[in-house]
Structure 1
Amino acid sequence: MTDVIAEPQAGGCPFKTADSPEIQTDFDIHDPNRVETVHSDYAELRERCPVARSTKWGGHWVMTRYEDIMEVMRKPEIFSSECVNIPPTIGQDGPMIPLEIDPPDHTTYRQIMTPLFSPTRMRKLEPEIRALVLELLDQIGDATEIDFIDAFAKELPTRVFLKLMGWPETDAERMNDWVDRIVLGLPGASEEENTAFRMEAALETYGYFAEMIDDRIEQRDNEGQREIDADTADVTDVLVNAKFGDRELTQFEMLNIFFLMMIGGLHTVQGQLAHSWIHLAQNPAKRKELVDHPELVSAAVEEMLRLEAAVAGARVVKEDVVVGGVQLKAGDRVLIPLAAANRDPEKFENPDDIDFTREPNPHVTFGGGRHRCLGSHLARIELNIAFEEWHKRYPDYRLHPEKPYKKHLSQVRGVESLPLLLNQSI
């Protein structure tokens, strides 16, 4: 048995277990009734039982302390990424690569994919991303009322993703539909109905991906093998011509790489933009600080990333282990909500406050360890440009008083609609 962070309890059994009544919770990361209370829920769990046992989805652990969550991410040999979802599937056909792959294969996949998202390659995209942001702002124009999601937050990451992949930008609408169905599920449905609903959308997505792959393979076969420049070629071209050791990637592997990139690249940035704009609309003094001091943009992006981390990943315990005085058993599933880590008062002073001068700011919004988000450089560029250009064009905006925003809670938290009134403030 491995002891990660052990705090034996006084008297009786040295460690709490899954049956200990004092650590039980009905916390459900998919419960829509918690969408506005999730941060206070994490705080309550952190105070009462930072390693809690949820009765939902067949039973799983929920961690809420920064150090515990970091420890889980740093130790893939104990906490496997073979399944990062609770429930175990969101419709994908096989493991999402490389996220749900452990070493040593994980290392090879990362070697293939890391150059595609290198800081150098991402910086080369800045002019195109800025042009896209300005185009979206021009389309908003003189409007006084918009839905921020439809007009901006959804379009930006989807069109950037399609550009990266080398796929038609005209496919943005159906791409967004698939992601919404997979991430959100079917509100009010049973667990079984939700799984079936997500799998139907995923099947449609896989069909589209397969078509894109087949087209490129046909092109490759017709033109012959050629040297691919990972700094300039689109992602599809690179993967179709990539080697895993001495073999080509299979279609199955590419399908599951694309699936992860779609889920990881679209809803996360959309949600981060929307949550940020909600905070800035509700806090005009902070927004004015950003408008008056554009040099704070990068720090503001980092603070908003800390405040509203979208992802609550999961791990599978590979061997018996003790964390925070609680006994976990091999085969257990563990939820590690990054938003909980980012608001741990043991790590961040006044964690619920917005502070654009917070230094240091060691948030874990992009994860940690071997599975740290490959797209973090791209996400930061998208967010920095969006923060900068939007606030040049629309320094004043507020939430619509008669049309409330709609958030959703899942393992990828987000915002479904965000009505804004432009050129107005509170």
Structure 2
Amino acid sequence: MTTQQADSATCPVTGARFSADSPEIATDFDVHSPAVADVAYERYAAMRAERPVAHSDLYGGHYVLTRYEDIHDVCRNPGVFSSESVNVPGSIGQDGPMIPIEVDPPDHTTYRQIITPLFSPKRMRAMEDHILEIVTELLDAMEGKEQVDFLNDFAKPLPTRVFLAMMGWPQEHAEQFHEWVDVIVLGVPGASEEEAMEARMGAAMQVYAYFAEMMDERDEQDVPEDDITQILLDGSFGDRDLTQFEILNILFLLLIAGLDTVKGALCHSVIYLAEHADQRHQLAEDPDVIPAAVEELLRYESAVIPARVVKEDVVVGDVQLRAGDKILIPFGAANRDPEVFEEPDEVDFTREPNPHLAFGAGPHRCVGSHLGRLELRIAFEELHRRFPDYRLDPDRPPVRHMSQIKGVASLHLLLGPA
């Protein structure tokens, strides 16, 4: 363990050398700055070497952790490191806590028991043929083109259409969901923090209104017994029914977690593979490698950068944290830690073991990990079977963005052989 609980009312804990106002641990790292997007891993490495528990005054003040062991410990210790607020700043426009990710045990456990069966391996396997149909349709539309906008032609619509199919909602609403999620996750590029938050809240309210409409429609229709919206409407928390408020915030989380994370993983992976022809052709020639490749590419570029709230005074490394402090725990930083991963900045499809934290750890480990892996596996299989020679368009290089889901804002590919 690298954390020690402290009784700050009596005496300092041995080993705590620094605190929030110590200049030695100050950092200007900004999780929302476009300037960080292309150098995030270099910044993580520098902080890990020099100040693995760093402090920023941005967004009201927060810490940034970069060691695997520290981040892993935080994930597994919700009693000290609460998930009551996983964003910096504290909201992306949602009306109340996103359930269950912003709820701590024991209530979190009850919510997970409701949601986990919706993403069981059996249920995901039943979706495999439909996901393949969506992938095939999207790739069919790319056939015969020399150049494609991979982000908008494939990476955005795939997880959105899968989400809508899971929910039993109209596929023609996909584009509207793209617009809402982009605003909620990214705000308004170039706008002030206040303007960005106003835009996020406006988009989130439209999302809630859509969800409420879908819930109302379920009351008027005969729906399959495995319909997720209906399952939630029929769900209970202990001895009471789930409230509309709870259902809306569960759906809000499923939307954000299901769309932007898969979109980011697809784009980050394709950028890497477009630049590394040998490994790209390996996937085309030996599809059996793809499941391991998915895990390694998730480790290499882990998009999620969640936050936690410190609930009681604690020492992490040699830094004194106080109750109420906010900390960022970038999974990408943990997954490039050389103390855990040999040659962490290299992609190795034979890496074993591969204890990456792309899906988190502990009680809040991503409930949709089975679905995410399934979407990525099918996408990689079909993409590399049909377009094994894709490469980046040199006239339009990829543009990455930062946020608490690190992603890609533009990705253009050339499909034919060089």
TM-score over 0.5 for the pair: yes
1:389 aligns with 2:382: yes
Counterpart contact for 2:2–2:317, Cα < 8 Å: no
Aligned to 2:124: 122
Aligned to 2:337: 344
Distance change >3 Å, CA 356–CA 14, structure 1 → 2: closer
Distance change >3 Å, CA 5–CA 360, structure 1 → 2: farther
Q: Secondary structure at the match of 2:60?
A: coil
Counterpart contact for 1:122–1:377, Cα < 8 Å: yes
Say which of 30, 35, 38 aligns to 1:36: 38
1:167-214 per-residue CA deviation (whole Å, 9 max, x = no partner) reads 111110001110001111111111111111111111111111111111
Aligned to 2:142: 140
1:285 aligns with 2:278: yes
Q: What is the letter of the counterpart of residue 378 of structure 1?
A: L
Aligned to 2:70: 68
Distance 2:49 2:194 in 1: 33
Say which of 183, 190, 193 aligns to 2:195: 193
Structure 1 position 247, deviation (Å): 1.7
1:409 aligns with 2:372: no
Aligned to 1:9: none
Q: What is the letter of the counterpart of residue 379 of structure 2?
A: A
Counterpart contact for 1:5–1:325, Cα < 8 Å: no
Counterpart contact for 2:305–2:328, Cα < 8 Å: yes
Distance 1:43 1:202 in 2: 35
1:102 aligns with 2:104: yes
Describe how 1:49-88 pairs up with structure 2 within 5 A: 49-88=51-90
Describe how 1:309-348 pairs up with structure 2 within 5 A: 309-348=302-341
Counterpart contact for 1:80–1:102, Cα < 8 Å: yes
1:34-88 per-residue CA deviation (whole Å, 9 max, x = no partner) reads 1100010000000000000012111100000000000000000000000000000
Say which of 291, 294, 306 aligns to 2:299: 306
Counterpart contact for 1:86–1:314, Cα < 8 Å: yes
Say which of 154, 157, 160 aligns to 2:156: 154
Matched positions, count: 410
Aligned to 2:3: 4
1:251-294 per-residue CA deviation (whole Å, 9 max, x = no partner) reads 11111011101000001000100000000001111112222221
- Output the TM-score relative to the length of structure 1: 0.94
Structure 1 position 234, deviation (Å): 2.1
Counterpart contact for 2:16–2:317, Cα < 8 Å: no
Q: Secondary structure at the match of 2:306?
A: strand
Q: Secondary structure at the match of 1:124?
A: helix
Distance change >3 Å, CA 3–CA 365, structure 1 → 2: closer
Describe how 1:231-380 pairs up with structure 2 within 5 A: 233-380=226-373
Q: Secondary structure at the match of 1:125?
A: helix
Q: Secondary structure at the match of 1:312?
A: coil
Q: What is the letter of the counterpart of residue 171 of structure 1?
A: H
Q: What is the letter of the counterpart of residue 22 of structure 1?
A: E
- Output the TM-score relative to the length of structure 2: 0.96
Distance 1:109 1:209 in 2: 19
Aligned to 2:8: none
Aligned to 2:9: none
Counterpart contact for 2:181–2:260, Cα < 8 Å: yes
Q: What is the letter of the counterpart of residue 248 of structure 2?
A: L
Counterpart contact for 1:62–1:336, Cα < 8 Å: yes
Distance change >3 Å, CA 5–CA 397, structure 1 → 2: farther
Structure 1 position 13, deviation (Å): 8.2
1:125-177 per-residue CA deviation (whole Å, 9 max, x = no partner) reads 11111111111111111111100011111111000000111111111000111
Any unmatched runs of 5+ in structure 2? 6-13
Distance 1:340 1:32 in 2: 18
Of residues 186-195 and 156-165 in structure 1, the stretch that sits farther from structure 2 once superposed is 186-195
Q: Give the alignment's Cα RMSD to 1 decimal.
A: 1.5
> After TM superposition, what 4+ stretches of structure 1 lie above 6 angstroms from structure 2?
none
1:170 aligns with 2:169: no
Q: Secondary structure at the match of 1:193?
A: helix
Distance 1:270 1:424 in 2: 25
1:205-253 per-residue CA deviation (whole Å, 9 max, x = no partner) reads 111111111111344xxx7xx9x85xxx121111011111122111111
Aligned to 2:217: 215
Distance 1:124 1:188 in 2: 43
Distance 1:79 1:179 in 2: 27
Q: What is the letter of the counterpart of residue 405 of structure 1?
A: P
Counterpart contact for 1:274–1:418, Cα < 8 Å: yes
